[in-house]
Amino acid sequence: MTSCPYPELDERIWRNILARANVFHAIRTRLADLFDRTFFSNAVDSTLRQLASIADEFSEIECNTTRAVLATLGEWRSVVARTAEFAHLDESDADLLREIENLLLEALMASDIRVVNPLDETFVKVSRLSGQVYRRYFWRKPAFSLAMEIAHLRPHHSYLDPYAVSALTTSVPNAVVQLVIWPHAFGPPAYAVLPYVLIHECICHVPARQDRVDNGSTFAEGFMDWAAEYFYGLWLSRIDSRLAPMTEQHVAALQQVLTGASNTDASSRRVGRRRASQLVNWISGHDPGLGESRSVAKKAVVKLALTLNTTMAPLDIKDHFVSELNPAPNPVLGERLRAWVDGQLDPADLLQCTCA
Ligand SMILES: [Zn+2]
């Protein structure tokens, strides 16, 4: 790996992000414990902060990407080893740091020592799985790109929001999913939530067929995000089983940030997700056959979401459909939903009974 494959990203920033990602990848089985202990141990906190400084330094002075990454791994391993020997360090923290040192050593001593690109590897898996899901609907294979943000996406973030990462999908002329990272704060939590961030893009936005992009859309950002979370639950272990436990915890925390009632920007996501859940409950309550199992009703709503997402229709119409689910479908929509549940109505035709 010699140079940055992403045209919009500065080479130094690329080396910096890649060096951190390689460290997180190498120690991912203990990454959650390491991050947790930063709140309780100044020594552990300082160790993780030094990783940022080391990645900053080597990405500046070392122009070769591979050498910058390996130098970061090696130098930080020395820091971890020294900290583990601190006289007053809690014994369990010392054990944790020794384990991490060993994981770093394994990565550096591997017979096929190589710099990995965990961001791209995660994307390839997510894209392939999404393609399998959407194959019978509409799918176009997206490209992957990486860019940097110059500050946190949410300017008034607190320590509860270390998720300095976002993504966007462009579709013209070809579908491209761009991951956007604020390098300064690219730490373990931001790394852990990447699978979910990419699943959201691939399920909600890559195959979307509508007239516009709108972050305030209850359908695109909420109803579809509910479906994305369904697939995230199915795929998490397949994407990276060793990172999965940490991802699970941090995605739950990220969802709190993204859908929290105190976050006014989160309204569309919060409301759209709730409407999908309301539809599951409505099916469960109105169709004893399908609703016997809540999981069967859930699968039906997931399929509906995929169909509506790939139905060419104005986004306003799709948003209006979502709004009509609250608190329960009106009698006309209810009839049509029952016909859809019974297989008598094409799901795309459900949009026809809405008038935006
Ligand atoms: Zn989105």
Compute the distance from residue 221 Cα to the ligand 1 centre, in Å: 5
pLDDT tens across 168-205, in order?
Answer: 999 878 899 999 999 999 999 999 999 999 999 999 99
Q: Which two tokens stand for residue 23?
A: 């460290």
Give percent of the chain above pLDDT 70: 95
Compute the distance from residue 223 Cα to the ligand 1 centre, in Å: 11
- pLDDT at residue 292 is higher than 70: no
Compute the distance from residue 252 Cα to the ligand 1 centre, in Å: 17
Query: Which residues is 168 bridged to in the sheet?
Result: 178
Give percent of the chain above pLDDT 90: 71
pLDDT of residue 356: 45
Compute the distance from residue 220 Cα to the ligand 1 centre, in Å: 7
Q: Which helix (H) or strand (E) holds 84?
A: helix 65-84
Complete edge-to-edge strand list for the sheet that includes strand 176-181: 143-148, 176-181, 165-170
> Residues 6 or more apart from 177 whose CB is under 8 A from it?
123, 127, 142, 143, 144, 145, 167, 168, 169, 198, 201, 202, 205, 206
pLDDT of residue 348: 85
Compute the distance from residue 13 Cα to the ligand 1 centre, in Å: 25
Compute the distance from residue 225 Cα to the ligand 1 centre, in Å: 7
Compute the distance from residue 47 Cα to the ligand 1 centre, in Å: 34
Give the SS3 label for residue 47: helix
pLDDT tens across 222-233, in order?
Answer: 999 999 999 999
Compute the distance from residue 293 Cα to the ligand 1 centre, in Å: 29
pLDDT of residue 137: 83
Tell me which residue of 88, 20, 28 sits closest to 48, measured CA to CA. Answer: 20
- Tell which wins on pLDDT, 275 or 293: 275
Compute the distance from residue 207 Cα to the ligand 1 centre, in Å: 12
> In the chain, what's the furthest Cα-to-Cα distance?
73
Compute the distance from residue 184 Cα to the ligand 1 centre, in Å: 23
Compute the distance from residue 319 Cα to the ligand 1 centre, in Å: 14
DSSP E strands, the chain: 143-148, 165-170, 176-181
Compute the distance from residue 206 Cα to the ligand 1 centre, in Å: 10
pLDDT tens across 222-267, in order?
Answer: 999 999 999 999 999 999 999 999 999 999 999 998 887 766 668 8
Compute the distance from residue 338 Cα to the ligand 1 centre, in Å: 29
What is the full DSSP assignment across 315-355? Answer: HHHHHHHHHTTSSS--HHHHHHHHHHHTT-S-GGGGGGG--
**Residue 241 and residue 220: Cα distance in Å, rounded?**
29
Tell me which residue of 195, 121, 127 sits closest to 163, measured CA to CA. Answer: 195
Compute the distance from residue 20 Cα to the ligand 1 centre, in Å: 26
Domain residue extents for the chain: 11-109, 118-356
